[in-house]
Structure 1
Amino acid sequence: MNPAASILVIDDEPDLRTLYELTLLREGYRVETAASVAEAREQLSAKRFDAVITDMRLPDGFGMELLQDLRNQNRRERCVVMTAYGSAENAVEALRCGAFDYLTKPVDLRQFRSVVASAVQDPGHTTALRVARGAGAPRLAGGAGDAHKPTYALQRLVGESAAMQDVKQRIAKVARSMAPVLIRGESGTGKELVARALHASSQRNEGPLVAVNCGAIPENLLEAEFFGARKGSYTGASQDRDGYFQAARGGTLFLDEIGDLPLAMQSKLLRAIQERSVRPLGSTQEEPVDVRIVSATHRDLAADVQAGRFRQDLYYRLNVIELMIPPLRERLEDLPALCAALLSRIGQESGSPVPRLTDDALRQIARYPLTGNIRELENLLHRAVALSDGQDLVVESPASSAPPSHPQEAQPLQAPSAAEGDRAAPAADAAGVPPTLPHDLQAWLDQQEREILVRALKETGFNRTATAARLGISLRQIRYRIERLNIATPHASEGADDGL
């Protein structure tokens, strides 16, 4: 934070304007205020600021006009836009016009302070993509890390759904610990982004984060890549070189797709974690290493342990704390913000404006199964941008998209009949794939989720703690789903269920 920074706050509501002003004054900033576009322009013509915080709708115009003024004049002030009229379209438009960040009212003051602190800091230490109270990072869907170290703050995780709020709260708590963390989730859910947020929120954020894709390293090179090698230790080793453990000293070593490591390497990794030291290939000396281990997988490691594919002792060493990342189908309310963030990124990469995300396009996107989660969503948006000729985004219907992976998906889209006021969902086959695509994807998903949850509750005698363990999700998620799906549970089980 730069306490000496000067900030202009623009809002036509006196109470909110005063609240923002007092909040910033307590942080040590110098603050000026304005209640209209005209007042703001007068202030901006008189002096320079480090940041401008403006409401979207003002009595005599829009905050976007001020944003455009700053851009046309090549002013250095970073602008944060606030609005009670938040939508994906507003977010994309604000970012396209050069906004530094975008906040939705009612504004969380902790988030407000964090965004302002980012806005006034050195431009070289911030990410380029932000949207809707904390947008994405350069990569939203995980994968191997790059050599740079941008600032990934917790509030940059896209989504304000209950499921994502739970993830963010757990990250904030886990960040205080130095214990190993296992991040679980389907492919494309953003496990690496969560790992980076965890690192950025921890006491080790000044150290490096080294991201390793365990499934992408040839087996004969694993030991040298992880622990380093000495000159002459193998053909082609012309000099000493460090491995991932040495490179991550004082920081975090992120082991993505840890389940892909062969058993022989698992035992060597276990020893390095237990002893907090490594022996480079070709050396007789142990080297101490100070790293925090964060790993991730889309596999069921507990099942792999039972099947003998993963060492039980390593599993317990890595899974001291577990973070479960929800799939996109469990947080479809985050779809507008995710689309806005991804479209902004696509526009930045292409260097040209992206088509507008309309409500119709968003509804069409929601019809896709999106089993590939955010990664599949990004591919879908790339394709849609490429095929759109006008100002509005054109999204193909699921039936006309890429060739289906299941024969059932090739059948024509049919609208099921209505039943009891709701659209009836088509029955699923033995593989869980409906014979016809559902007319209402969310209704179909809710029905499937409800049936599974009711069955699990009955099998555990409506004990929600046991149900959470049975389904491999958190107790908080069980409570959220029971309430969202309006599932009736016997009142007698409440008191015996961890105080629920």
Structure 2
Amino acid sequence: MSSLPSSAAAPRPAQILVIDDEPDLRTLYELTLLREGYRVEAAGSVSEAWQHLEAGRFDAVITDMRLPDGEGMEIIHRIQKDQRSERCVVMTAYGSAENAVEALKAGAFDYLTKPVDLKQFRAVVASAVQANRAAVVVPQKPAPQAAGHGGERPDVLSVTRSGATALDRLVGDSDPMRLVKSRIAKVARGMAPVLVRGESGTGKELVARAVHGCSQRSEGPFVAVNCGAIPENLLEAEFFGAKKGSYTGSSQDRDGYFQAARDGTLFLDEIGDLPLAMQSKLLRAIQERSVRAIGSTQEDAVDVRIVSATHKDLHAEVLAGRFRQDLFYRLNVIEIAVPALRERREDLPALCTALLARIAQDGGLPVPRLSDALLQRLAQHPLDGNVRELENLLHRAVALNDGDELHIDLMGAMTPMPAAPRGESAEAPPAVAVAAAPAPAAEPKPAPPPLPSDLQAWLDQQEREILVRALHESGFNRTAAAARLGMSLRQIRYRIARLGISTPNGDDGTTAHADD
């Protein structure tokens, strides 16, 4: 098919390659894109697609996952291997979420679920074209290869101009921080969900903002949500919005976080604190790319990128039944691990300089001088609270400073208190008495128990023993046993049935009792 004519003054139309083995669908996609002003070429197989790719360059490649002579994944892998600039969008069958996740991990820009909604189709293609054209090359200082990181350290990062500014806010040029910045620039190009993992105080939100700033969505909104700070009964309204009169006090329609983040990035901080009931609703919103406000009968399409963060071990939370496994895999398509401050102590001088400049500016004060001796003391301090603790120390130092040179009272920092011996009063005894008492001989620590050869069987046995004990102590009243263990009746019934625990009534926990 021929493309639409364009004026000489107009910019070059974007080049799109559409790959689908169904002629009717291929024609539909071609016509849709031609009406948007793109130049379109089409292929019905992997081999035919390679002929087009070898003959020229494209802004975006739209490919079906299953083709007569191969898989759409082959095209993605080849484009990544050849370091081509095309953004790839894959089309998957409804319900094949694992294929979409696999494609995003392989480097696909985004995915569409068949049957394809043409409005969403146009929006995704426009985003892919915009991302391809917004990319500029920002040189980075070369650094030695860090061992154990699989060679992921490009000396040139392809980011947007606003992304370069966002990366500059991540202070530090140590090897761990260079790896973080490199990964941010790499993952920002697509739409794949990103999970930012790190200890409290390491700057996970700054990393999320950098991902947003480096992406083609940098002109859109960045909406940050602390999942642990919202009351459980308000979660659905806060996330998805509510219609007027849908609940007490709802005097007008209001948008939720998903609507507010449309065409931008939604940052879900402390995602591990989200209740299980809300996790299933969040999963559906991410999969369907649409939300339904409370009191509405209509689905509202939302185009957002999800970036989440946690200080918890979500894999352990999944094993413990506190986090949905399907949501974990959906959020954890790409992971960025933010290093603790103790792992990048060489960044301390730059961090202190940046923090002091900001603290002094906020307070309208001159920037105090930080001596080398004081920097050395800071480097020897544990700083278990990471950058947040460092900022707290510098805030206190600036507030108490009475000269040109800064002094920091590290003794005032929070330190763990030693446990009092058993039977000793909570009040501190006199200093003389402490000095006179002889120190007890340190008892040798018992050897740790051997690691289980079958972890799941060991965990099941521990769970069985706890459940049997709780049932015995509650007279086999499952409601009371569940309450003691902080579980619902449905949860304890499921576990009794799964572990095959027999009760005096001869059932396996799958039926209800009157006393429950």
Question: With structure 2 as the length reference, what TM-score do the two structures score?
Answer: 0.50
Matched, 1:164 2:193: no
Shift of residue 162 of structure 1? 0.3
2:203 to 190, 213, 222: 190
1:40 matched to which residue of 2?
none
2:236 counterpart of 1:207: no
Query: 1:383 deviation in Å?
Result: 1.0
Q: Which residue of 2 aligns with 1:354?
A: 367
Tell me, in whole angstroms, the C-alpha distance in 2 between the residues paired with 1:404 and 1:154.
Answer: 33
2:194 to 159, 175, 181: 181
**Larger radius of gyration between Structure 1 and Structure 2:** 2
Residues 151/216 of structure 1: CA separation in 2 closer, same or farther (3 Å cut): farther
Residue 368 of structure 1 and its aligned partner are, at CA, apart by 1.7
CA deviations on 1:61-84 (whole Å, 9 max, x unpaired) are xxxxxxxxxxxxxxxxxxxxxxxx
- Determine if the alignment matches structure 1 residue 290 to structure 2 residue 319: no
Indicate how the Cα distance of structure 1 residues 150 and 216 shifts in structure 2: closer, same or farther if over 3 A, else same.
Answer: farther
- Per-residue Cα deviation, 1:113-132 (whole angstroms, up to 9, x for no partner): xxxxxxxxxxxxxxxxxxxx
Task: Give the aligned length.
Answer: 268
Q: Is the 8 A contact 2:163 2:214 kept in 1?
A: no
Contact 2:197-2:311 within 8 A present in 1 as well: yes
Change (3 A) 1:402 1:317: same
Q: 1:110 aligns with which of 139, 143, 156?
A: 139
Equivalent in the alignment of 1:234: 247
1:223 corresponding residue in structure 2: 236
1:183 partner SS: strand
SS in 1 for 2:202: coil
Name 2:146's counterpart in structure 1: none
Instruction: Verify: 1:406 aligned to 2:417, yes or no.
Output: yes
Q: CA deviation at 1:151?
A: 9.2
- Indicate yes or no: 2:381 matched with 1:368: yes
Post-superposition offset of 1:385: 1.3
Cα deviations by residue, 1:327-354 (Å, 9 ceiling, x for unpaired): 0000000000000000000001100113
Indicate if the aligned counterparts of 1:358 and 1:392 stay in contact, CA closer than 8 A: yes
Change (3 A) 1:402 1:161: closer
Distance in 2 separating the partners of 1:227 and 1:388: 48
The one-letter amino acid of 1:248's match is A
CA distance in 2, matches of 1:300, 1:234: 36
Q: What residue ranges of structure 2 are gaps of 5+ in the alignment?
A: 1-136, 142-161, 421-427, 429-441, 446-516
| Distance in 2 separating the partners of 1:383 and 1:363 | 18
Q: Structure 2: how far apart are the matches of 1:287 and 1:403?
A: 48
- Residue 152 of structure 1 and its aligned partner are, at CA, apart by 5.0
| Alignment of 1:301 onto 2:314 | yes
Q: CA deviation at 1:156?
A: 2.5
Equivalent position SS for 2:254: coil
The 1:319/1:174 distance shift into structure 2, 3 A limit, reads same
- Partner amino acid for 1:198? V
CA gap of 1:353–1:299, structure 2 versus 1, over 3 A, is same
Contact 2:397 2:408 in 1 (8 A): yes
- C-alpha deviation, 1:109, in angstroms: 7.7
CA-to-partner distance for each residue in 1:434-489, whole Å, 9 max, x for gaps? xxxxxxxxxxxxxxxxxxxxxxxxxxxxxxxxxxxxxxxxxxxxxxxxxxxxxxxx
Q: Does residue 384 of the first structure (1) align with residue 397 of the second (2)?
A: yes
The change in CA–CA distance for 1:289 and 1:358 in structure 2 (over 3 A counts) is same
Q: Which runs of 5+ in 1 are unaligned?
A: 1-107, 113-148, 411-426, 431-500
1:185 and 1:297 in contact (8 A); partners too: yes
Tell me the equivalent position of 2:257: 244
- 1:202-223 deviations in Å (ceiling 9; x for gaps): 0111111111011111111000
Contact 1:364 1:396 in 2 (8 A): no
Q: Give 3-state SS (helix, strand or coil) of 2:139's partner.
A: helix
Residues 163 and 210 of structure 2 are in contact (CA less than 8 Å); yes or no, is this contact kept in structure 1?
A: no
Letter paired with 2:139: R
Instruction: Compute the displacement of 1:150 (Å).
Output: 11
3-state SS in 2 of match to 1:255? strand
Change (3 A) 1:249 1:275: same
Instruction: Sort the Cα spacing of 1:283 and 1:203 in 2 relative to 1 into closer, same or farther, 3 A.
Output: same
CA contact (8 A) 2:221 2:265 kept: yes
Cα distance in 1 between the residues matched to 2:294 and 2:164: 33
CA positional deviation for 1:403 = 5.1
SS at match of 2:262: coil
Residue correspondence of structure 1 range 325-474 to structure 2 within 5 A: 325-397=338-410, 400-402=411-413, 404-407=415-418
Indicate yes or no: 2:283 matched with 1:254: no
Q: Is the 8 A contact 2:198 2:339 kept in 1?
A: yes
The AA in structure 1 aligned to 2:363 is: S
Distance in 1 between the 2:372 and 2:164 partners? 32
Q: Is the 8 A contact 1:230 1:283 kept in 2?
A: yes
Separation in structure 2 between the aligned mates of residue 205 and residue 289 of structure 1, nearest angstrom: 17
Q: Sequence identity, in percent?
A: 73
Instruction: Give the number of the structure with larger relative contact order, counting CA–CA contacts within 8 Å between residues 6 or more apart.
Output: 1
Q: Distance in 1 between matches of 2:403 and 2:388?
A: 25
* Deviation beyond 6 Å, 4+ runs, structure 1: none
- The reply on whether 1:278 has 2:307 as its aligned counterpart is no
Cα distance change, pair 359–309 in 1 and its aligned pair in 2 (3 A): same
CA distance in 1 between partners of 2:301 and 2:359 (Å): 43
Distance 1:335 1:208 in 2: 32
Please tell me whether the aligned partners of residues 179 and 292 of structure 1 are also in contact (alpha carbons under 8 angstroms): yes
Alignment RMSD (CA, Å): 2.4
d(CA) in 2 for partners of 1:375 and 1:109?
29
Deviations 1:139-163 (A, max 9, x none): xxxxxxxxxx999522321000000
Which residue of structure 2 aligns with residue 266 of structure 1?
A: 279
Q: 1:230, CA displacement in angstroms?
A: 0.1
Are the structure 2 counterparts of residues 245 and 343 from structure 1 closer, same or farther at C-alpha, using a change threshold of 3 Å? same
Cα displacement string for residues 67-115 of structure 1 (whole angstroms, at most 9, x for unaligned residues): xxxxxxxxxxxxxxxxxxxxxxxxxxxxxxxxxxxxxxxxx98369xxx
Q: Give the whole-Å Cα distance in 2 for the aligned partners of 1:109 and 1:252.
A: 23
Question: Match for 1:293: what amino acid?
Answer: I
In 2, distance between residues paired with 1:221 and 1:395? 43
Measured in 2, the distance between the counterparts of 1:313 and 1:152 equals: 35
